[in-house]
Amino acid sequence: MAVRGEAPGKIILFGEHAVVYGAAAVALPLTKSVKVTLRPGAGNVDLRIPKGAEVPAHHNAAAPVALLERALGDAFATHDVRVELGVPPMAGFGSSAALAVAALRAAGAPRAKAKLLERALDVESVAHGRPSGIDPAVAIWGVPIRFQRTDRIRVRALPIGAPLHLVVGTAGVHGGTAPVVARIGETRRRAPALIGRAMDALGAAADAGAKGLARGDPALIGQAMRIAQGILDGFGLVGPEVRDAVRAAEGAGALGAKMSGAGGTGGALVAVCASERDAKRVVRALRGLGVRAWIERYGVSLPRNRSAR
């Protein structure tokens, strides 16, 4: 009998990198997801990549198998696994974490979110050395979240006060998360006060952005994104194609735009728009630059159960 698990990819709106060192961050699930199907078998993996997704030549083809082995444990050897990687891989959209959570769900992992997050963090450590846990958390919660990891992990489902239009895209070549996280760690060791303050500002941008989401105020979200983008650019995390795309998105009417996720040489970007019409114009402008871009929409939600761990 076949069993299946599914989990969405993510877009980080605020707090990437700073979240590794305890700052608040905001992430939202994507409509794109990873599906894992298990059938009795002998450990064969059938990996299906989305049509049109570019997988960089240096993509470590062993990584999905290593994640599956860790997630499935003994069950790996006695099953054939089909992975439908609907989240573009190696782009900053959390495909590794979504794969880890989908595999754990297929294998019958606990439904309790906090327990599943613990397991997913262990699995994700195969893909990168110092994960904050924000990627698996949004894959598990499946709603917009505020995430913070200090002595413990706190995840809160975020209220969305008015329909939200984000444009999400990917530009340039993503060099992988682990080396970029390591590089930021090195910079932080060299200039702890400066980098510490910059990371505090990224955390403050996350909280201002969360307020903008709750109030349905895209202009506030956009303002906070512009400030975050300036700091992340100062960290050397914004590749030339992403910088051009951010400028083009704002030129086409986005209220703010920034890189998203690990960044480095290239990868994901996100823009906030006041309306569907503006979002369509931004998508056209980005596609004109050769950037793969689409709209993600979030409806009004006022979660009751906010505190989860």
Binding site for ligand MEV (CB under 6 A): 12, 16-17, 19-20, 94, 131-132, 134-135, 177, 181, 261-262
Q: Which is nearer to ligand MEV, 81 or 100 (CB)?
A: 100
Q: Do residues 109 and 119 lie in contact, with contact meaning Cβ atoms separated by under 8 Å? A: yes
Please give the DSSP secondary-structure letter assigned to residue 258.
E
Report how far residue 146's alpha carbon sits from residue 155's, in angstroms, rounded to the nearest whole number.
6
Q: Which is nearer to ligand MEV, 131 or 256 (CB)?
A: 131
CB of 39 to ligand MEV, least distance (A): 31
CB of 117 to ligand MEV, least distance (A): 13
CB of 27 to ligand MEV, least distance (A): 8
Strand pairing of 3-14 and 79-85? unpaired
CB of 206 to ligand MEV, least distance (A): 12
Report how far residue 137's alpha carbon sits from residue 119's, in angstroms, rounded to the nearest whole number.
11
CB of 38 to ligand MEV, least distance (A): 26
Q: Which is nearer to ligand MEV, 37 or 170 (CB)?
A: 170
Give the position of tokens 């951010």: 246
Residue nearest to ligand MEV (CB): 132
The alpha carbon of 136 is separated from its chain's Cα centroid by a whole number of angstroms, namely 9
Helix axes 134-141, 95-106, angle to 10 degrees: 50
Q: Which is nearer to ligand MEV, 37 or 265 (CB)?
A: 265
First to last CA, the chain: 34
Q: Which is nearer to ligand MEV, 199 or 271 (CB)?
A: 199
Q: Where are the beta strands (DSSP E) in the chain?
A: 3-14, 25-40, 45-48, 79-85, 145-149, 153-157, 164-171, 256-259, 267-273, 292-298
Q: Which is nearer to ligand MEV, 183 or 243 (CB)?
A: 183
CB of 156 to ligand MEV, least distance (A): 17
Give the total residue count for the chain.
Answer: 309
CB of 43 to ligand MEV, least distance (A): 28
- Of 120, 126, 16, 135, the C-alpha closest to 65 is 126
Q: Which is nearer to ligand MEV, 3 or 143 (CB)?
A: 143
Q: Which is nearer to ligand MEV, 17 or 82 (CB)?
A: 17
Write the secondary structure of 104-125 as one string of H (helix), E (strand) and C (coil).
HHHCCCCCCHHHHHHHHHHHHC
The alpha carbon of 291 is separated from its chain's Cα centroid by a whole number of angstroms, namely 18
CB of 135 to ligand MEV, least distance (A): 5
